[in-house]
Structure 1
């Protein structure tokens, strides 16, 4: 159903440049402590990565891969260059899947007797997010800040070979909902399978992504979601169809827009429909599509580092398809 026009939420012009030291409402001196991804990740700092993490090498020739520290540094350099004068926070970094080792001199020591300097470690998967709190707007009463980030997952690289094969990266630019740290990412703000062989190629890809991203169009799309809602009955039907989708025959699934959410994530959406303080149903059981979208983006925060961005993209595509069905512009198997 389409909602009646409401009092507009305050909006600001993007690319707001503030004087040094000026605080943007809802922001702090560093990125929010709430995680933009959870799953089995832990927080690390850029200093820890540069100081403590070894760099994986190609097994055949011992040449190093592009380090996670260099990846983050290249992205930061581009952000500072493109968004000169804006307030830019220190990257928030999450890592998972530790790969532990030890120096040769400690090869015969029991694990519980190893000294710190005898241990080595790097993390197979890393995600980072650079927040620009001086570039913001409001959707559905929630403040959104521009963010740029990426994912490096060494499990996607052929480390058993020789240097020369392209390495895999993921890049994104979009908005972060400061109420819940959910990432709002769109297809034109995402490169899901970037393959490069040097830092120069990586830097060029970051520039290209930022220049091609249509942030105003993205904001208009999200704002439009606040104008439509599902009844409790429609929500129940939608979730039921979502659960059925994963079990359809392959030929039938090919005729339906893809949904990348499994039973665990859909269970989280159902739970939060009733319990989430910010995005739950209203007193009549209705839920607007902006809230529905945030239920899905929140559910994908429990996904592994190398997969959560794809689910975040899918959340917007899926919600826009629901909007088309509610508006009567298209039919949807999920609501038929």
Structure 2
């Protein structure tokens, strides 16, 4: 097993022995999220997209490009000496406009320089390929990133009002580009009013994230498996969960996946080349977890990280039940 871990005091799970790879430029070669997103590069984000402002004083919000920049700065400090790639950026929900001089033109006749554009939602990942581990033959590399969604901000305030960000650090399975995130590597509602506060929030997350514990949790999933009958029962219960009365849901671990994602899990149980059932028609929980994170790539940006985290928590709940703990409602 190959392992490199983070931080000056981290101790590897086993002695690292590998050759460092050539320095590629961009993080990942395939999309970590699909849904309705588009790929853009950082230069386009910085120079071609307008920035929303606070209505009362016309002062700009923190731009998506600046968010990426401060994240990279914090990474350079925390992961000093490691290889850090360029960010992979995905955007959705375009907000289009035009300059005043073109206000009477039909949309089909607008020149490029007469159009304005920014995307309401943006998510990015930055890969650190020299920090990695291997689980069941799948190489996992460290990823840091975040979400900036302007629809979460109140634009009718003055500059200084809290702005909302989501931050994460975890691993990406390079076999399928699925993201693996656990609780201590995710901040779902970071509220700041300046770039400096945002930089501190990123730095604190990177410092407190326990990558050793995260990797151990992921490795243990491979030690537990479901039979085909158990898998069928689990999926049936997952579908029922969505329609349970609210009072009954309170006593059941939540599941954030809907019918579309569950259908993808069922399909890939038979068809996925990397994570389908084995010859005995069983599926271990590492594979099941990756079926859920793979199905999550059809989720929109605003829900993506919450479902990513929920996949690990759900797999952990199933593991506890299969391993002799309290019986899970999903398996009864």
TM bin, normalised by shorter chain, reads over 0.9
Return the alpha-carbon distance in structure 1 between the equivalents of residues 263 and 175 of structure 2: 22
CA deviation after TM superposition for structure 1 residue 164, in Å: 2.8
Indicate if the aligned counterparts of 2:143 and 2:170 stay in contact, CA closer than 8 A. Answer: yes
Distance 1:67 1:13, change over 3 A: closer
Residues of 2 paired with 1:70 and 1:261: CA distance?
A: 32
Query: Which whole-Å deviations, capped at 9, do the CAs of 1:54-76 have from their partners, x for residues lacking one?
Result: 00011222111000010000001
CA drift of 1:84 comes to 1.0
Choose from 190, 195, 216 the match for 1:194. 190
* TM-score normalized by the length of structure 2: 0.94
The match for 2:129 is: 133
Match of 1:215 in 2: 211
| Cα-to-partner distance string for 1:34-63 (whole Å, 9 max, x where unaligned) | 111111000000000111000001122211
Provide the rounded CA distance (Å) in 2 between the counterparts of 1:313 and 1:172. Answer: 10
CA distance change for structure 1 residues 51 and 39 in 2, over 3 Å: closer, same or farther?
Answer: same
> 1:164 is matched with which residue?
160
After superposition, what is the alpha-carbon deviation per residue over 1:194-240, rounded to whole angstroms, capped at 9, x for unaligned?
Answer: 11000010000001101110000000000000111000000000000
Partner residue in 2 for 1:4: none
Aligned pair partner of 1:32 in 28, 32, 46:
28
Kindly indicate whether the alpha-carbon contact (under 8 Å) linking 2:95 and 2:118 is maintained by their aligned counterparts in 1.
yes
Change (3 A) 1:13 1:67: closer
Greater than 4 Å deviation, 4+ residue runs = none
Q: Secondary structure in 2 aligned to 1:36?
A: coil
Partner SS state of residue 130, structure 2: strand
1:108 to 2:104 alignment: yes
| Whole-angstrom CA distance in 2 between matches of 1:35 and 1:216 | 26
* Residue in 1 that maps onto 2:9: none
Q: Is the Cα–Cα contact under 8 Å of residues 269 and 275 in structure 2 kept in the other structure?
A: yes
Note the residue ranges of structure 2 that are not aligned, 5 or more in a row: 7-11
Q: 1:309 maps to which residue?
A: 305
Give 1:7's aligned residue.
Answer: none
Pick the aligned partner of 2:234 from 232, 238, 241.
238
Who is 2:83 aligned against? 87
After TM superposition, list the pairs within 5 Å mapping 1:239-318 onto structure 2: 239-318=235-314
May I ask how many residue pairs the two structures share in their alignment?
A: 322
Residue in 2 aligned with 1:179? 175
Using the alignment, how far apart are the partners of 1:12 and 1:296 within structure 2?
25
